[in-house]
A and B are shown apart, each in its own frame.
With several copies, the nearest count.
Chain A
Amino acid sequence: MTVHLELPAIYQFPPLFTRQPNKSIRNKQIETWINIILTNCEQCKIWTITKQGDMKIIDPDTQQVTTFNIFHNTEIDRSCSPIFINEIWQMMQKQGQLLNRDGKDLKISTDSDELQTDEEFYILWKSLELWANEILDWFERTTQLNKVVTFYEIVSSEDNFNESFYSMPEPLLYQILKILVKRGRATMLKENSKYVAIKVI
């Protein structure tokens, strides 16, 4: 396991990995899982997770990438079943903590076969609304209003290294910025029929 993950003690509790039959206990169990996922993603700035639970962790020093499956605890040799994992995704989606890449609702069916291994979700440890507010705040704070700013600048400029949204994937940023457009605070600009920049007013 990588050095960057700080997992709570309950992560070593074998029943965490079995879908509990008692419904109110299961709700707590799912809540526990969501906390584990959000806390870790936030701490390690992990923006995406695969449908199976794989997360890519980048060592800040060496830039080395480790893949870690949150739903498989190798130490105690326990895994969550795909059916239970889906239940967790569904709850996270309902609570706005998970976003499909295209911004559409997930089609999570326990009966759908052939999990596409490349299927990835965005993990929202802050809600889309909250992100939108933070970015709006940044525009105002850095006096970027009425200027065209590229998506790339927002999430990848070294000036923004200490901003909470630094390193955010651009498609996720796009979903967040759409909220500003909807609020009438911004317009987006295309290049080669793809949105690449924004002007906040």
Chain B
Amino acid sequence: MKKFGVAAFEDDERVYNETLKQFDKQTEQLTEQLGIFQEKLVEFANRHNEEIKSNPEFRSKFLHMCNTIGIDPLNLYVGRDKHLFTVNDFIYELSIKIIQICRNTKDLNGGLISFDELLNTYFKTLNITEGDLVEAIDLVSTLDGGFEILKIKGTKILRSVPNELTNDQTKILEVCSIMGYASVSLLRVNLKWSKVRCKSVLDEMVTSGILWIDSQTHQKEMLFWDPAWIAKSLSN
């Protein structure tokens, strides 16, 4: 557990523990109060949208307070037309959120995340459209950080790592988009590839963290799963 200002109390462990305990207790109560407070603030922001907008000083303080107490700024937008600052703040905020999501999930999906997952898992309550995502990602891509939208069988995927997919890798993801997984025999039948080619591309995708292996099938053949399946299974 994280320590709070340890040094000040180091000599007197008892005082420290006292404080810590007190702190935990307060934290618990505060969390509850904070929840209510957050709700009220969002309500307030929505109701007094125009007033907040028109007073820069107040707006600045207000938004800082929201940030400090952990209100997701995206919650402050009732819609694209109602915003607390410039017309574009909403889309900038969305861009930032997308960057953060991609960084947090990179080890799980190798830097590939489907629009489905973004919309259904992360932005479910926020009323964000595919168009919003495209707009935000276009903005992010001006920063030349390797962000790009791919299309796999008509589904949009956001790639947030600079390694471009090879044609073979893309074809495998297409196969995965149907079953959730690919395997050497599936690829041989569907793509008419040689065994060697199937195996080497699949292995390569495991190495780069794009596919997960499943060795417990009844066919005794290794399956290679696309983690995008997880979000997909939720929406089905």
Bound Cα distance A133, B24 (Å)? 8
CB distance from B179 to the nearest CB of A (A): 12
Contact with A along B64-85 (1 / 0, CB 8 A): 0000000000000000000000
B interface, over-half SS: helix
CB distance from A79 to the nearest CB of B (A): 7
Bound Cα distance A184, B206 (Å)? 53
Q: Which of A79, A115, A129 contacts B1 (CB 8 A)?
A: A129
* Residue total for B at the interface (Cβ-Cβ under 8 A): 34
Assuming the contacts A111-B193, A136-B21, asked whether A81 and B107 have C-beta atoms less than 8 A apart, the reply is no
Bound Cα distance A21, B227 (Å)? 15
Bound Cα distance A129, B21 (Å)? 9
B11 at the interface (CB under 8 A from A): no
Do A14 and B223 touch (CB < 8 A)? yes
Do B21 and A137 touch (CB < 8 A)? yes
B60 at the interface (CB under 8 A from A): no
Bound Cα distance A24, B109 (Å)? 10
Do B230 and A185 touch (CB < 8 A)? no
Binds B, one of A5-13, A36-44, A55-63, A99-107: A5-13
Most chain B Cβ neighbours within 10 Å, of A22, A110, A113, A129: A22
Q: Which of B107, B193, B195 contacts A28 (CB 8 A)?
A: B107
Most chain A Cβ neighbours within 10 Å, of B108, B212, B215, B227: B212
Do A183 and B216 touch (CB < 8 A)? no
Q: Which of B14, B24, B209 contacts A184 (CB 8 A)?
A: B14
Do B24 and A134 touch (CB < 8 A)? yes
Do B107 and A127 touch (CB < 8 A)? no
Bound Cα distance A127, B206 (Å)? 35
Which 10 residue pairs spanning A and B have beta carbons closest together? A15-B212, A113-B194, A133-B21, A28-B107, A14-B214, A15-B214, A82-B196, A15-B225, A24-B107, A9-B234
Q: With contacts A18-B216, A21-B213, A83-B200 known, what are 6 further pairs, Cβ within 8 A?
A: A13-B233, A14-B223, A14-B225, A17-B214, A130-B24, A185-B14
